[in-house]
Amino acid sequence: MAAEKLEAPASVSIEIFEKYDEELSQECHNIIAALPSESDWFSVQLYRYQGFWYQKRLIQPILNCQKHFQAHDTDIFIATPLKCGTTWLKALTFTIINRKKYNLNPNLDTTQTNAPHPLLTANPHVLVPNLEFDLYFNTNNPDLSSFPSPRLLSSHLPYASLPEPAKQSRCKMVFLCRNPKDVFVSFWHFTNRLRPDIQEFNTIEYLFEKFCRGVNYFGPFWDHVLGYYKESLERPEKIMFLKYEELKSEPVRVLKDLGKFLGYGFSEEEENGNVIDDILRLCSFENLKNLEVNKSEKLPAGVENKTYFRRGEVGDWKNFLTIDMMKQIDAITEEKFGKHDLKF
């Protein structure tokens, strides 16, 4: 197993991972009391709600958005399990939709007609807020009326647990998933970067066992993917199903498809010009990772932006998983996805 030096923790205070009991509604208390639970990698309890695992702090926001979120037909949702490329897809989608407003290539800004691109000064997670972590985290029913149309929103929730209006409306969803072995390795590093100073590093074996049993945030990973996959087959006009690997290997084709799916298709002139290349360059791992905002700033919740940019490669699992681990994940993937002809 290759020894990548584990990075020092991002100095997140443990408080942001806990929702104090007194802030929970009575309904939430009652629900949590009846849920199966086990401890996570922060030694905080995880709870299995509607078939998926969450920290206690997320149950109340999930209830809030399930109860209060009202969809617009023009909304666009980015839906992902953790560590599948959310940050990248947020950057790309934001940029596709707003490509006429902002300057896509700072080196070619001869006209100065467009404003500087927001990605140069804001992390993609700030530009595309998440329902359960951002919007409904501290507020039961936030006022979203000032959001410009189309509202660009995101969620890590499994399809079955999304607010009903999001499912019933004609809003569009782009779902991105990734090879589970790379997801696991990315997640393992993420937990260690976030761990509080007082906590030991999580061993890969410890987290692997939980991941394979489905006991990780928004997991089981495989069930999460299947929920969106099946729905995307039923309603291809509503849900676009993407893989991180195809975004890596065929970025131009995927971007064209994505633009078309969202109703922001590229014109012939744009396709023949530099627009698609400019978008890909602006949103590339190298570019985003090296922006000052992503090197030195934090999200409002306290997580350092740099935590979201590690290696950005396909197949990094080979550097960390043993043969046995590989076989174990592959067997689960085959069992869960094989009959659906879903391959990674």
Residues that bind ligand PAP (CB under 6 A): 80, 82-88, 182, 186, 189, 283-285, 288, 308-312, 316
Give the contacts of 298 (CB within 8 A, at least 6 positions apart): 304, 305
CA-wise closest residue to 78 among 247, 293, 277: 247
Minimum CB distance to ligand PAP smaller for 83 or for 224: 83
Q: Strands across the sheet with 239-243, in order?
A: 152-155, 76-79, 172-177, 239-243
Q: Concatenated DSSP letters for 229-241?
A: HHHHHH-TTTEEE
Which is closer to ligand PAP, CB of 28 or CB of 177? 177
Note if 189 is an active site residue: no
Q: Is the peptide bond before 150 cis (omega within 30 degrees of 0)?
A: yes
Residues 311/135, Cβ–Cβ less than 8 Å:
no
Catalytic one among 68, 117, 125, 156?
Answer: 156
Residue position matching structure tokens 């839906």: 79
> Is 76:262 a contact under the CB 8 Å cutoff?
yes
First CA to last CA distance, the chain: 22
Please identify every residue annotated as catalytic: 156
